[in-house]
Amino acid sequence: MSKTGWRSWGAAALIAGGLAAGPARAQETIKIGVLHSLSGTMAISETTLKDAMLMLIDEQNRRGGVLGKKLEAVVVDPASNWPLFAEKARELIAKDKVSAVFGCWTSVSRKSVLPVFKELDSLLFYPVQYEGEESERNVFYTGAAPNQQAIPAVDYLIKEENVQRWVLEGTDYVYPRTTNKILEAYLKSKGVKPEDISINYTPFGQSDWQTRVAAIKSFGSAGKKTAVVSTINGDANVPFYKELANQGIKAIDIPVVAFSVGEEELAGIDTKPLVGHLAAWNYFQSIETPENKAFIDKWRAFTKNAKRVTNDPMEAHYVGFNMWVKAVEKAGSAEPGKVIAALPGIKQPNLTGGVSEMLANHHITKPVFIGEIKDNGQFDVVFKTEELIPGEAWSKQLDGSKDLEADWVKLNCGNYNTKTKKCGGA
């Protein structure tokens, strides 16, 4: 659907709901920006998040909206184009006057929009696992920080799989490079030798994986248990996993643990040869709780598709959106500055049986799950943390970060140096 079509969707919904269109409409609704790629290499992952936001907004409107006002979705398509993300964010905030934006997937898209949100003092909810090393006043991070995904995944492979050699395979942009920098330091702290760590990056949309998979197979033939830690993003995952199967790499030989492959990505490939490979997330569709069952049922009813899957970033939007609603009600206003101040301390039940809390560093508490791929495209949970893990904005593994603290409540700073006692980092 075109951008114009999506904009008219919101107006049509308001008219259908009995609200008068016209000059008073902006005062009678609270606009929510949805900033996700609906075309390009990231559409495979982001389109479903747009649909999830439309469902959440529709559901909230059925409950009466927020502060007596209906919510109106304003959807734009930044088309997997990182500079276009900034342009579309400015359009949403300055032109469409949205009260909050839910969006971005890649870290490069988030980095692209950060100056816009800071300049215009608006509010972004970011729903995807990322590399950490950031805490901004205008951003609330509802996806996993490295200590809520990457580190637990490596610990699992060391303990349960006795992995000794490591291939850190990623797409060439900030999230994989920073995550792998953290993981390399962490592995070395565990006694892993440099020659037992192989790091490689490929472009977005990489389609020919024959040479890289052959190199992984060769690296894993040295007589030590080898694993691949994958930060490959977007539609490049499909040919990567197909090539693993083509070259006979099975999970029992060289397990792959992925941080960006969930139910939505697996829906597009034959998963039978991939049974046993792993993914680390904070939510899986297969987790059986009453909350999750209700969410899945609503999702399939909303999309009119009984086979439509759910995934981790969708749950992050679910948690973040409901936290936003509670913060607006607490502040008595949808004005971004007031909502930003109200959000820390807000709690929201997640879909896996726990209660997540927004922390002073603008990250949330999350459980960690590791799942094995099943032949039906779902995951069998093989590990979970006993408690919810608080997200850490700054990595303990990196010299430039281990002394930093993020606290927007008491310190009003995202990078307070605990040694120099100054805000501003190192």
Question: For residue 269, what pLDDT is reported?
Answer: 74
Question: For residue 2, what pLDDT is reported?
Answer: 40
- Which portions of the chain are predicted below pLDDT 50? 1-26
CA 217 → CA 131, 166, 221, 232, distances in Å? 27, 12, 6, 17
* CA dihedral over 104, 69, 122, 396, signed as positive or negative: negative
Tell me if residue 257 falls in helix, strand or coil.
strand
Superfamily grouping for domain 3-145+288-367: Response regulator (3.40.50.2300)
Question: For residue 274, what pLDDT is reported?
Answer: 82
Fold annotation for 147-286+370-390: Rossmann fold (3.40.50)
Across 47-196, the runs of DSSP E, i.e. the strands, are 70-76, 100-103, 124-126, 139-141, 165-171
CA 205 → CA 41, 80, 85, 201, 411, distances in Å? 6, 11, 18, 12, 41
Where are the domain boundaries for CATH 3.40.50.2300 in the chain? 3-145+288-367, 147-286+370-390
How does pLDDT run across 123-169, given as a tens digit for each residue? 999 999 999 999 999 999 999 999 999 999 999 999 999 999 999 99
Distance CA 228, CA 345 (A): 37
Tell me if residue 39 falls in helix, strand or coil.
coil
**Cβ atoms of residues 136 and 123 within 8 Å:** no
Q: Running DSSP on this structure, what letter comes out for residue 358?
A: B
Question: For residue 425, what pLDDT is reported?
Answer: 75
Nearest in space to 401 (alpha carbons), one of 364, 426, 365: 426
* CA dihedral over 108, 112, 114, 115, signed as positive or negative: positive
How does pLDDT run across 82-97, given as a tens digit for each residue? 999 999 999 999 999 9
Question: For residue 158, what pLDDT is reported?
Answer: 97
Percentage helix, strand, coil, to 5, in the chain?
A: 40, 20, 40
